[in-house]
């Protein structure tokens, strides 16, 4: 402890009253790794260690930042090439590209996949429902539960992006985000896949969950027409997408219209926005050049652009880092605040829950908290009963 105090005490004293004064929140420009020195301190192990005393004595969050410490979201229609683009952009900007939200994150724990139990459940309501099932049967009983879980997963990935950026200083790139998820619920509603009651519940959930999240610094939209979406889907030839009823002009046009007429105008009020015609692909290096021209700190006091990121104090930066990196489970519990007993599609009966508990008690990957599975983990010397578990436990 003496060595910690030797490092931390001078830093604490050096802060003085300025610890509560606003500090630079947004660097003006993003630079490619070829045009700037993007070195950072060694990454803080935020996935295994909370940012609390005594570690808060030794560093402040903004000490890790460089000009690329930002959140970028890549949006676009289905099959527009977002995944490959995110990887290339992350490499050019020395950022991390987080995997897109998908139902494997919900159903898989280690080597075990909950979907393997489908043949053992006593009724249809307990069977899995993921992207593949939605493509085959979009009017299924579980469609609304599926989309709410996708919202949860996008929320979880986005919180991880914020936690990573604030804890390490490395920028993060996310494919789609919780702020754009409403596009799919609206398209489902317009195509008759869900009911008005389902949509009301969805928006009630977003009112409880989205407010704590800071908006991204930059949104990039890769635009391709509906005809190209259908062509790309056909080319990638995924079995569950071939002849899927969802890849019709109405559903795909609804997604396109909602992006262009609703989401992009809304998000451009708070974030920078770049839009590209990606019908025939494109060159990520050209996008990087456009990004380097954006001035992220040229707004006046009354502008909504970057409002959340501007002029935070050191204490506010540290608290924000703790919120996303250390208190993710608290943010996720907000999804449980909405209980609608008029929607059986979102609830299990007592018998169903007993059956789930019985099955999962025989499945160590689900039954034990991450890192405390006695079948695979050495738990003899572990005393922390609430380790950071980034898996999402939802029924």
Q: 311-347 pLDDT, tens per residue?
A: 889 999 999 999 999 999 999 999 988 777 778 888 8
Residue 149 has a pLDDT of: 96
- Look at residue 197 and tell me if it is in a domain: yes
| Residue 79 to residue 226: CA distance in whole angstroms | 10
- Look at residue 360 and tell me if it is in a domain: yes
Residue 3 has a pLDDT of: 38
Q: Where on the phi/psi map is residue 224: left (φ > 0), alpha (ψ -120 to 50), or beta?
A: beta
The tokens describing 39, both together, are: 């070195």
Write out the chain in H/E/C secondary structure.
Answer: CHHHHHHHHHHHHHHHHHHHCECCCCCCCCCCCCCCCCCCCCCCCCCCCCCCCCHHHHCCHHHHCCCCCCEEEEECCCCCCHHHHHHHHHHHHCCEECCCCCCHHHHEECCEEHHHHHHHCCCHHHCCCCHHHHHHCCCCCCHHHHHHHHHHHHHHHHHHHHHHHHHHCCCEEEECCCCCCHHHHHHHHHCCCCCHHHHHHHHHHHHHHCCCCCCCCEEEEEECCHHHHHHHHHHHCCCCCCCCCCCCHHHHHHHHHHHHHHHHHHHCCCCEEEEEECECECCHHHHHHHHHCCCCCCCCCCCCCCHHHCCCEHHHHHHHHHHHHHCHHHHHHHHHCCCCCCCHHHCCCHHHHHHHHHHHCCCHHHHCCCCCCCCCCCCCCCCCCCCCCCCCCCC
From residue 13, alpha-carbon distances to 5, 16, 70, 370 in Å are: 11, 6, 29, 39
Residue 7 has a pLDDT of: 38
Q: Which of 204-208, 341-345, 375-379, 387-391 has the lowest mean pLDDT?
A: 387-391
| Residue 367 to residue 357: CA distance in whole angstroms | 9
Q: Flag whether pLDDT at 271 surpasses 80.
A: yes
Residue 111 has a pLDDT of: 80
Q: What is the DSSP letter of 282?
A: -
| Coil/strand/helix, residue 143 | helix
Look up the domain containing 217 and give its range. 53-367
Q: Flag whether pLDDT at 118 surpasses 70.
A: yes
Asked whether 302 and 32 are in contact (CB, 8 A), the reply is no
**Global confidence as pTM:** 0.90
Asked whether 198 and 343 are in contact (CB, 8 A), the reply is yes
- Look at residue 81 and tell me if it is in a domain: yes
- Look at residue 377 and tell me if it is in a domain: no
The pLDDT confidence band at residue 242, using thresholds 50, 70 and 90, is confident
Distance of CA 78 to the CA centre of its chain: 18
Nearest by Cα to 12 from 65, 64, 58? 58
161-182 residue pLDDT tens: 999 999 999 999 999 999 999 9
**Residue 118 belongs to a domain with what CATH number?**
3.40.50.300
Residue 8 host element (H or E): helix 2-15
- Look at residue 18 and tell me if it is in a domain: no
- Look at residue 373 and tell me if it is in a domain: no
Q: b vs e for 307-330, b when ≥16 Cβ sit within 10 Å of the residue's Cβ?
A: eebbebbbbebbebbbbbbbbbee
Rg (CA), the chain: 23
Residue 28 has a pLDDT of: 84
- Look at residue 96 and tell me if it is in a domain: yes
Average pLDDT value over all residues in the chain: 87
How many domains is the chain built from?
A: 1
- Look at residue 356 and tell me if it is in a domain: yes
């Amino acid at each position: 402890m003496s060595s910690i105090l030797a490092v931390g005490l001078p830093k604490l004293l050096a802060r003085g009253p300025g610890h509560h004064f606003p500090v630079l929140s947004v660097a003006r420009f993003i630079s490619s790794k070829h045009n700037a020195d993007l070195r950072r301190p060694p990454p803080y192990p935020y996935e295994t260690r909370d940012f609390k005393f005594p570690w808060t004595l030794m560093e402040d969050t903004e000490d890790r930042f460089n000009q690329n410490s930002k959140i970028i979201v890549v949006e676009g229609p289905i099959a527009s090439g977002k995944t490959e683009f995110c990887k290339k952009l992350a490499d050019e900007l020395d950022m991390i590209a987080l995997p897109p939200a998908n139902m494997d994150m919900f159903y898989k724990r280690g080597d075990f996949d909950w979907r393997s139990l489908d043949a053992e459940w006593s009724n249809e309501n307990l069977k899995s429902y993921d992207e593949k099932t939605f493509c085959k049967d979009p009017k299924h009983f579980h469609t609304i539960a599926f989309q709410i879980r996708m919202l949860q997963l996008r929320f979880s990935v986005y919180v991880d992006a914020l936690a990573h950026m604030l804890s390490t200083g490395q920028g993060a790139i996310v494919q789609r985000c919780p702020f754009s998820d409403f596009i799919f619920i609206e398209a489902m509603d317009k195509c008759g896949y869900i009911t008005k009651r389902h949509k009301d519940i969805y928006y009630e959930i977003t009112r409880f969950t989205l407010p704590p999240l800071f908006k991204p610094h930059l949104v990039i939209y890769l635009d391709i027409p509906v005809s190209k979406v259908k062509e790309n889907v056909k080319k990638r030839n995924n079995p569950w997408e071939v002849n899927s009823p969802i890849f019709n002009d109405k559903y795909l046009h609804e997604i396109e219209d909602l992006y262009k007429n609703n989401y992009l105008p809304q998000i451009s009020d708070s974030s920078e926005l770049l839009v590209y015609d990606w019908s025939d692909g494109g060159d990520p290096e050209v996008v990087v050049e456009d990004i380097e021209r954006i001035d992220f700190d040229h707004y006046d006091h009354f502008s909504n652009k970057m409002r959340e990121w501007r002029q935070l104090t050191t204490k506010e930066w540290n608290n924000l880092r703790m919120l996303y990196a250390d208190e993710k489970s608290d943010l996720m519990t907000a999804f449980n605040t909405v209980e609608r007993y008029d929607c059986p599609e979102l609830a299990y009966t007592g018998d169903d829950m007993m059956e789930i508990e019985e099955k999962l008690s025989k499945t160590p990957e689900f039954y034990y908290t991450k890192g405390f599975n006695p079948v695979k983990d050495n738990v003899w010397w572990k005393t922390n009963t609430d380790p950071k578990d980034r898996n999402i436990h939802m029924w």
